[in-house]
Amino acid sequence: EAQVTQNPRYLITVTGKKLTVTCSQNMNHEYMSWYRQDPGLGLRQIYYSMNVEVTDKGDVPEGYKVSRKEKRNFPLILESPSPNQTSLYFCASHASNLNTEAFFGQGTRLTVV
């Protein structure tokens, strides 16, 4: 089954404690992205990756890092989380054909206290 898998689904952490949210896709997609979803703001792109070792900032990259060492994995790293990073996070992937849908993971609900 084609899918995007994120872990963990839920996470509560304290300010300043580094964390990583993992994302893996099994569709051999070139493009992967991270979004955050906040009430009234919809989905906003944090970072994206066009292929292995190629990443770029989205609309709201501050406070986040990503890496793309393998095609299937695209982890999101928060080096020093802050309460304003409390949000619902989604990983997405799609093929290099530009007219294709993006497949989304189930989401990670992060709370930073």
Partner 1 sequence: GESVGLHLPTLSVQEGDNSIINCAYSNSASDYFIWYKQESGKGPQFIIDIRSNMDKRQGQRVTVLLNKTVKHLSLQIAATQPGDSAVYFCAERRWVSARQLTFGSGTQLTVLP
Residues of this chain that bind partner 1 (CB under 8 A): 4, 31, 33, 35, 40-45, 48, 50, 58-59, 90, 92, 98-99, 101-107
Q: Cβ closer to partner 1: 98 or 113? A: 98
State the minimum distance, in angstroms, from the CB of residue 83 to partner 1. Answer: 22
Q: How does DSSP classify residue 80? A: S
Measured distance CA(24)–CA(71) in Å, rounded: 9
Taking the C-alpha atoms of residue 51 and residue 62, their distance in angstroms, rounded to an integer, is 21
The least CB distance from residue 17 to partner 1, in Å, is 26
